[in-house]
Amino acid sequence: MTLRLYNARILSMVEGQDIFTGEIIVEGNKISYVGESDKAPKVAADREIDCMGNVLMPGFKNCHTHSGMTAFRSLADDLNLQDWLYNEIFPREAKMDGEDCYWLTKLAILEYLTSGVTAIEDMYLTPETIADACQEMGMRCELVSGLNKFGPTLEVLEERYNKLNGKYPLVGFKMGVHAEYTCDKELLENVSKLIHKYEAPLYVHMSETKTEVDECIGRYGITPVALFDSLGLFDFGGVIYHGVWTTPEDWEILKKRGVMVVSNPASNAKLASGIAPLTDYLREGITVALGTDGPSSNNALDMFREMYLAAVMGKVREMDPLAVPAVEVLKMATVNGSKTLEHPDTDVLAAGKLADIIMIDLSKPNMQPVLNIPNNIVYSGCKSNIKMTMIDGKILYENGQFIGVDVDEIYRKSEEIMEKLR
């Protein structure tokens, strides 16, 4: 199928390229042209969309989430991380099966689409059924192992790595562990062997709370970042989720190993975990992306809120209004997200890239006047500004409607599951 999107303001996110008025041609699942309309090739488009001066830009990448936790939205609020996790979440998760995760993931995907999210990095219980849900819904996804001392086994991790990478066009699988505090040292050493066997990056919750870091230092005499580095777990790079309580020595390790940080400002604020040192990461050249975390610790899967909080909380942390500029936050939500996902074909709008495109509605009051579009998106944008979400060349959400999805069935199935887990 060939689509022509014209009369658009194009925010390509290509380094050094300003917003311009033009059009985008999509052929199949790829962009074949981005540029001014008078220079565009003539094509026989199956559909032409007049963008009416609205913004086309790369989709947002939600680089840390637990989609199946939609079951626990607003169920265990106003608790600290340890109480929330061990007393409320883990006992309920023990009752969940693959079918539950399948439907709850579909529910989350509906919310991602309304927020302009075109790819997710999802760590949850049954990656096989999550993969099915994402492929069926058209959501681009990198599944992440949450291996810990409670399960699954190393053999299962390796089997999933080999089975799920390549099973579906839109889905991949990353090696990871849940966290230092849920893994003993022997398990981490064995994961390191697996990492080296496949020369794979590692993904992990890390340095989320001060208590977590202090307890790791109490056990091993070093921070979680330093521990993982000493075990060779970062030898092929990777990603740490949260990175709130890191040290200058940790930053040197992250830089040396090419480890990236996914910040989750809403979840970190709600759980009172702290504010990540984004200014330090930017200064040190450490790649930062954004994620919502799960819909229980957040509770919304809203990338506009994450962008706003990343910017303003970074300013509060430094007591400097110049800290964490909006343009850097927009880069975190798009270009840098593609880096953590290892999806280089989804970072910007350019010919040859995959057609993961969103349209931002500028006609809403919160986008007027149109003085600085990137700043408007970060500081005043909201989910109601998402007019279209396209993934892999297919429009999945347009003008408030989901395309080709039985929303009522997803709601009904999800409610049945939630009743079981309450």
The per-residue pLDDT for range 119-177, each reduced to its tens digit, is: 999 999 999 999 999 999 999 999 999 999 999 999 999 999 999 999 999 999 999 99
Strand 2-10 and strand 20-27: pairing? antiparallel
Cα–Cα distances in angstroms (integers) from residue 68 to residues 15, 195, 264, 422, in the given order:
35, 26, 17, 14
With CA atoms as reference, report the closest residue to 242 among 275, 285, 279.
Answer: 275
Q: Report how far residue 55's alpha carbon sits from residue 21's, in angstroms, rounded to the nearest whole number.
A: 9
Backbone region of residue 7 per phi and psi (left: phi > 0; alpha: psi in -120 to 50; beta: other values): left
With CA atoms as reference, report the closest residue to 205 among 183, 179, 226, 187.
Answer: 179
Sheet of 60-65: strand order equals 60-65, 117-122, 140-144, 171-174
Q: What percent of the chain has pLDDT over 70?
A: 100
> In 151-274, where does DSSP find H-type helix?
154-164, 185-198, 210-220, 224-230, 248-257, 265-270
With CA atoms as reference, report the closest residue to 139 among 396, 335, 346.
Answer: 396
Q: What pLDDT, on the 0 to 100 scale, is given for residue 396?
A: 98
Q: What pLDDT, on the 0 to 100 scale, is given for residue 188?
A: 98
**Are the CB atoms for 117 and 344 separated by under 8 Å?**
no
Spans in the chain with pLDDT lower than 50: none
Domains of the chain, earliest start first:
2-59+345-402 (2.30.40.10), 60-344 (3.20.20.140)
Cα–Cα distances in angstroms (integers) from residue 176 to residues 172, 202, 216, 234, 384, in the given order:
13, 5, 18, 11, 34
pLDDT tens digit sequence for 336-387: 999 999 999 999 999 999 999 999 999 999 999 999 999 999 999 999 999 9
Q: Report how far residue 64's alpha carbon sits from residue 66's, in angstroms, rounded to the nearest whole number.
A: 7
The rounded radius of gyration (Å) of the Cα atoms in the chain is 21
**Are the CB atoms for 139 and 82 separated by under 8 Å?**
no
**Cis preceding-peptide flag for 298 (omega within 30 of 0):** no
**For residue 150, which amino acid is it?**
F
